[in-house]
Amino acid sequence: MTKLRSVTLNEKAQSLCELPILSGATGPDVVDIQTLYQQTGMFTYDPGFTSTASCSSAITYIDGEKGILLYRGYPIEQLAEHCTFLEVCYLLLNGELPDTDEIQKFEDTITLHTMVHDQLTNFFKGFRRDAHPMAIMVGVVGALSSFYHDALDIKSKKDRDLSAIRLIAKVPTIVAMCHKYSTGLPFMYPQNKLNYVENFMRMMLGTPCDEFSPNPVLVRALDRILILHADHEQNASTSTVRLAGSSGANPYACITAGIACLWGAAHGGANEAVLNMLEEIGDVSNITTFINKAKDKRDPFRLMGFGHRVYKNYDPRAKLMRDTCHEVLTELGLHDDKIFKLALELERIALEDQYFVEKKLYPNVDYYSGIVLHALGIPSNMFTAMFAMGRTVGWIAHWDEMIADPEQRIGRPRQLYTGAAKRDIPPQHIKRA
């Protein structure tokens, strides 16, 4: 980053302090406020970090006004069309797309780490069969660190790389196990002859009783869905992973913190909430009622899958997800799917409504993902776990970048205190010895 100029903070025409302005490779410049408190005795105040850059990063760039998303400089549209999810994983982790030898080695390494320690299956038995899969994911992924004491030195790049491989390889196996556990069906072991997505689909949807023949159109669709979910700058769950990592916590604990944060309906839980919302709307004749509820300030209802903190234009992933949705429904002979047609009509009406236009509320990545996951045979309570499966690589890439960043320190925000002034305990609460 380069220091171009500075900004002076004045109060009553008195110069309070001068702060440098930094520029990155692209996007908004930043005011470096690291010395603000030292110079002025004041903090900045920015609930939700709407105007705050928490770090510098070279991984992903979003232009919310133009609806642009780049992974290591490559547009998401090109990656979704020309690359596989594992090629995108390699790109996010290493900064460049792999050549033929590099991707073959990376795929082989991932394949050889897809199995989990057999004792990990014992953790599932502690959960009720109807436990939400994200509750199980938090428990089981968090427990992974207890199996890998051999590579938890976060200062060792070799250990960090091995943890990255283990997490990218094992999270799909654990996600599939969550589903199998909820259905009472036996866990399926990975098969090394299958590619990453085929393997996951067989573990998720296959049984030991039948040969599983993955449909290549559906495999490619799911591969693309994982690409669309792989990373997204400093979103809530990635910021959680970075904050957890800044204390020196091990990578499995940090990724578990990210999984916990992603679960929220305002974040990764939205895909499940979108499908529930569409099923509640039920018919196009009810769309206006729900649009009015979403606009009513007294009503907590929001149009799930719409709006975004950064995108004030169409989320480029939503377009790609809609196309993938159409492709999968056509392949499955479901192009008349009632829910998909309802979603298209709801999108059309909302995008013409003044409220959504003025507030720049467009469909986001979660709006169509639930419909296509449902069509792929994945139950709605698994949707956020699928999001976590795609985002694991982004969380790890940011965790690794943060550990290697010479500027990184333990994250410790300050606050604007609005509580009671210093006071003594009243006599009636003081216990006589």
Give me the catalytic one of 179, 366, 374, 400: 366
Does 302 sit near ligand SDX (CB under 6 A)?
A: yes
Binding residues among 18-57 for ligand SDX as defined by CB under 6 A? 48
C-alpha span between 30 and 287 (Å, rounded): 42
From residue 160, how far is each of 88, 149, 306 by CA, in Å? 18, 12, 36
What's the per-residue H, E or C state across 382-397? Answer: HHHHHHHHHHHHHHHH
- Contact letters for ligand SDX, residues 232-251 (x by CB under 6 A): x--x----------------
Least separation in angstroms between residue 47's CB and ligand SDX is 10
Give me the catalytic one of 132, 179, 232, 308: 308
Please identify, using beta-carbon distances, which residue of 181 and 340 lies nearer to ligand SDX: 340
Least separation in angstroms between residue 409's CB and ligand SDX is 24
Return the axis-axis angle of helices 270-281 and 383-404, rounded to nearest 10°.
150
Parallel, antiparallel or unpaired: strands 74-75 and 68-71:
antiparallel
Q: Which residues pair with 24 in a beta bridge?
A: none
Widest Cα–Cα separation across the chain:
80
308 has catalytic annotation: yes
118 has catalytic annotation: no
C-alpha span between 231 and 69 (Å, rounded): 10
Least separation in angstroms between residue 115's CB and ligand SDX is 29
* Residue 50 burial by Cβ neighbours in a 10 Å radius (0-12, 13-18, 19+): exposed
- Token code pair at residue 363: 């469909």
Please identify, using beta-carbon distances, which residue of 198 and 401 lies nearer to ligand SDX: 401
Residue pair 400/49 in contact (Cβ under 8 Å)? The answer is: no
Least separation in angstroms between residue 312's CB and ligand SDX is 10
C-alpha span between 60 and 26 (Å, rounded): 11
Residue in the shown chain whose Cβ atom is closest to ligand SDX: 307
Q: Tell which residue, 399, 374, 388, 394, has the closest CA to residue 79.
A: 394
Does 398 sit near ligand SDX (CB under 6 A)?
A: no
Interface stretch with ligand SDX, choices 64-72, 94-102, 134-142, 302-310 (CB under 6 A): 302-310
Q: Which residue has the tokens 């320690």?
A: 117
Residue pair 398/242 in contact (Cβ under 8 Å)? The answer is: yes
Work out which of 123, 196, 306, 368 binds ligand SDX, going by CB under 6 A: 306
Least separation in angstroms between residue 228's CB and ligand SDX is 9
Least separation in angstroms between residue 295's CB and ligand SDX is 7
- Token code pair at residue 166: 């283990």
Work out which of 174, 303, 382, 389 binds ligand SDX, going by CB under 6 A: 303
The b/e string for 88-106 (b: 16+ C-beta within 10 A; e otherwise) is bbbbbbeeebbeeeebeeb
- Contact letters for ligand SDX, residues 92-121 (x by CB under 6 A): ------------------------------
Binding residues among 354-373 for ligand SDX as defined by CB under 6 A? 359, 361, 364-366
Does 309 sit near ligand SDX (CB under 6 A)?
A: yes
Work out which of 133, 142, 190, 307 binds ligand SDX, going by CB under 6 A: 307
Does 267 sit near ligand SDX (CB under 6 A)?
A: yes
Least separation in angstroms between residue 271's CB and ligand SDX is 8
Active-site positions read 308, 366
Task: Give the footprint of ligand SDX on this chain (CB under 6 A).
Answer: 48, 232, 235, 266-267, 270, 294, 302-310, 359, 361, 364-366
